[in-house]
């Protein structure tokens, strides 16, 4: 992948030791017989799919979860041989490629199995296609909804000379990160009803994303899909406290590219939405909404020399302006996510200001921002 942005002093730093710390905490807490698969979809939640996967493997992850087939292929191309589960529906036309690369896929309908079997036969594929049956217990996204449909799919998978390997069965809880567990219990009940239709369970039985494992550990099954907590982010935001310290892995920094003295009455940026009431020092930061730093962050703040500095005027596509406490040199570091002195800005802080979740902020950081990795003990 071509990195566009190497010659600009704006970058994302990823602390791989933080990744390993978070996995280590979960490894210590889980049942020894329960596997941990690292969820590295969406370019490792913006952290870098290959680097995160390699660090997770070093920390004890025995498999990986992704969202689309191309992410799984990227892991294989990088030399990772561990099991990989694609959590989203992959078109059955790619069944031969999936089987050849020993990738596992989520399946939620009998029709998918029928089409995939045809593709496998036409391509004379000898390797089995690894299948994890998805159960829709209340997420409303993908999966079997009735015991009868599920039982029919299991029968298909277990027919003599079947081209499939019935490797796993799973569901996804939609409210595991909430204090009110009413809907969670409904989903759990639905899960138990559905899997009762399977006379012999497959190798992997899994329901736990990060939130489920953190706050409903008894439901873990024999595999955890360790996602956002892997990156040191609390799945519930601020609603629930994690049972151990999650260490954020990502920071975002830049440098002041321009500093000027602004006279009272002068305005800044598109729409002239900010006008100085008095003479001020203004710094320009080389980052904007094209980098995933949201336009709606006008009025939020960054850190310069450990001081909180407000973002003034609208965030532009590639640059934005901040009000400085005094004149500082061009090239002075700017912290957008991370710690400077005794001040910290978290992804959660940015998400709260934008009225969204930290997942979206992390995943939205553009590839134009180079990722710089540290792995110091």
pLDDT in tens, 126-147: 999 999 999 999 999 999 999 9
In this predicted structure, the answer to whether residue 246 has a pLDDT above a threshold of 90 is yes
pLDDT digits (tens, 9 = 90+) for 184-224: 999 999 999 999 999 999 999 999 999 999 999 999 999 99
Q: Which two tokens stand for residue 18?
A: 């933080």
Nearest to 10 by CA among 291, 260, 376, 248: 291
Per-residue pLDDT at 377: 66
Residues of the chain with pLDDT > 90, as a percent, come to 98
Known binding-site residues for substrate equal: 141, 317
Q: Cβ distance 189 to 196 under 8 Å? A: no
Average pLDDT over residues 294-310: 97
Q: Which two tokens stand for residue 263?
A: 């006279």
Q: Which of 20, 41, 293, 359 is catalytic?
A: 41
What does the alpha-carbon distance between residue 285 and residue 254 come to, in Å, rounded to a whole number? Answer: 7
Q: Cβ distance 358 to 347 under 8 Å? A: yes
Q: For residue 164, give the H/E element and its range.
A: strand 164-170
In this predicted structure, the answer to whether residue 283 has a pLDDT above a threshold of 90 is yes
In this predicted structure, the answer to whether residue 3 has a pLDDT above a threshold of 90 is no
Nearest to 6 by CA among 337, 286, 377, 236: 286
Per-residue pLDDT at 361: 97
Per-residue pLDDT at 104: 98
Q: Which of 20, 30, 231, 270 is catalytic?
A: 270
pLDDT digits (tens, 9 = 90+) for 326-352: 999 999 999 999 999 999 999 999 999
Per-residue pLDDT at 4: 82
277 given a catalytic annotation: no
Residue 1 pLDDT class (50, 70, 90 cuts): low
Per-residue pLDDT at 376: 75
289 given a catalytic annotation: no
Q: Work out the mean pLDDT of the chain and round it to a whole number.
A: 97
Average pLDDT over residues 246-269: 98
Residues of the chain with pLDDT > 70, as a percent, come to 99
What does the alpha-carbon distance between residue 109 and residue 118 come to, in Å, rounded to a whole number? Answer: 15
What does the alpha-carbon distance between residue 242 and residue 214 come to, in Å, rounded to a whole number? Answer: 7
In this predicted structure, the answer to whether residue 2 has a pLDDT above a threshold of 90 is no
The three-class DSSP label of residue 339 is strand
DSSP 91: P
Domain ranges of the chain: 31-231, 250-374
Known binding-site residues equal: 141, 317
Residue 80 pLDDT class (50, 70, 90 cuts): very high
Task: Report the topology of domain 250-374.
Answer: Lyase, Ornithine Decarboxylase; Chain A, domain 1 (2.40.37)
CATH number for region 31-231: 3.20.20.10
Q: Cβ distance 55 to 77 under 8 Å? A: no
In this predicted structure, the answer to whether residue 119 has a pLDDT above a threshold of 80 is yes
Average pLDDT over residues 226-242: 97
Q: Cβ distance 33 to 62 under 8 Å? A: no
Average pLDDT over residues 346-365: 97
Look up the pTM and report it: 0.95
């Amino acid at each position: 992948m071509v990195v566009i942005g190497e010659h600009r002093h704006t970058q994302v730093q990823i602390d791989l030791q933080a990744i390993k710390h978070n996995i280590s905490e979960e490894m210590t807490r889980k049942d020894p017989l329960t596997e941990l698969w690292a969820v590295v979809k969406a370019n490792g939640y913006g952290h870098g799919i290959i680097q995160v996967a390699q660090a997770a493997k070093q920390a004890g992850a025995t498999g990986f979860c992704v969202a689309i087939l191309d992410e799984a292929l990227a892991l294989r191309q990088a030399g990772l041989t561990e099991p990989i589960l694609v959590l989203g529906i992959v078109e059955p036309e790619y069944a031969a490629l999936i089987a050849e690369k020993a990738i596992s896929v989520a399946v939620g309908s009998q029709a998918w199995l029928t089409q995939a079997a045809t593709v496998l036969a036409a391509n004379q594929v000898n390797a089995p296609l690894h299948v994890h049956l998805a159960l829709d217990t209340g997420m409303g996204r993908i999966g079997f909804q009735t015991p009868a449909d599920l039982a029919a799919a299991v029968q298909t998978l277990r027919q003599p000379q079947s081209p499939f390997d019935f490797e796993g069965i799973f569901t996804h809880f939609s409210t595991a990160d909430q204090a009110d567990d009413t809907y969670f219990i409904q989903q759990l009940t639905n899960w138990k009803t559905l899997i009762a239709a399977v006379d012999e369970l497959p190798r992997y039985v899994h329901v736990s994303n990060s939130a489920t494992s953190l706050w409903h550990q008894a439901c873990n099954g024999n595999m955890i899909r360790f996602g956002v907590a892997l990156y040191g982010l609390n799945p519930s935001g601020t609603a629930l406290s994690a049972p151990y310290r999650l260490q954020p892995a990502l920071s975002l920094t830049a440098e002041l590219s321009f500093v000027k003295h602004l006279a009272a009455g002068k305005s800044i940026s598109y729409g002239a939405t900010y006008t100085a009431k008095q003479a001020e020092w203004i710094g320009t930061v080389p980052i904007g909404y094209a980098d995933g730093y949201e336009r709606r962050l006008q009025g939020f703040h960054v850190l310069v020399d450990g001081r909180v500095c407000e973002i003034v005027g609208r965030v532009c596509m590639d640059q934005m302006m901040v009000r400085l406490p005094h004149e500082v040199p061009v090239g002075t570091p700017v912290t957008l996510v991370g710690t400077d002195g005794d001040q910290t800005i978290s992804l959660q802080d940015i998400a709260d200001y934008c009225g969204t979740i930290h997942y979206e902020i992390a995943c939205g950081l553009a590839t134009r921002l180079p990722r710089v990795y540290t792995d110091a003990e």
